[in-house]
Amino acid sequence: IDHQEADWVSIHERICQLLIPIHTSLPFFSSEKERKHGMEQLQNRQKYIIDVARSTAQKFILEGEPGKAIPAGLQALRFSVRVHGACSVDVVPAYLLLAEACMDAGYLTQATTYLSQAQWLVLKTPACSLAVQHKLHQDLGLLYAAKGDLEQSLYHLANDIYLASCAFGPGAVQTAGGYFQMAKIFLRQNKTDVANSLFAEV
């Protein structure tokens, strides 16, 4: 019952009506044109649900309610797999959202699983966008920091800064996140001068 309530509060209430036509079997189409149109409508509904689920999960993460973000993230993942296929790099943003929510909730084992899956998909997709790669390395940096492996955290955050600089420019807000997280790691290592210079960069 608790899980059902969490699911309802998180996402189900927002997408319940949208699920009805998706879970209803498609009618018989008399022509190829009608069938194609019906399939396009189904795809569009599923993509809309992905957008709603992702934005809802992001909202809960920003509001500091990761427990509510997880059911929404799971819906985003479920429909991303339906639309793009389980081996598509387009599924990675949903894995990253779930990993962030799990890290914030303290579920590091689950976060590791989601990030491993995301990393595998990125590695097997040479054409993966720099923006997605930057976000993956940022989340890996945060995961290793949470686990106490500061050297691995710094390695991934350095990659995050490099990729964000390539994708958005060295002075972009997206790049600042990596500098900020790196500065926090150097503070934990009592390297105050380095941390301060990175905070100044932010």
Per-domain boundaries in the chain: 1-107, 129-201
Whether this model's pTM surpasses 0.75: yes
Say how far apart CA 192 and CA 9 lie, in whole Å: 43
Domain 129-201 class in CATH: mainly alpha
Each residue's pLDDT tens digit, 57-113: 999 999 999 988 998 899 899 989 999 999 999 999 999 999 999 999 999 999 999
* C-alpha closest to that of 140 among 163, 116, 121, 123: 116
How many Å is the Cα radius of gyration of the chain?
20
Each residue's pLDDT tens digit, 3-52: 455 454 555 555 555 655 555 555 566 667 766 766 677 778 888 888 88
| pLDDT higher than threshold 90 for residue 170 | no
Tokens for 189?
A: 């290592």
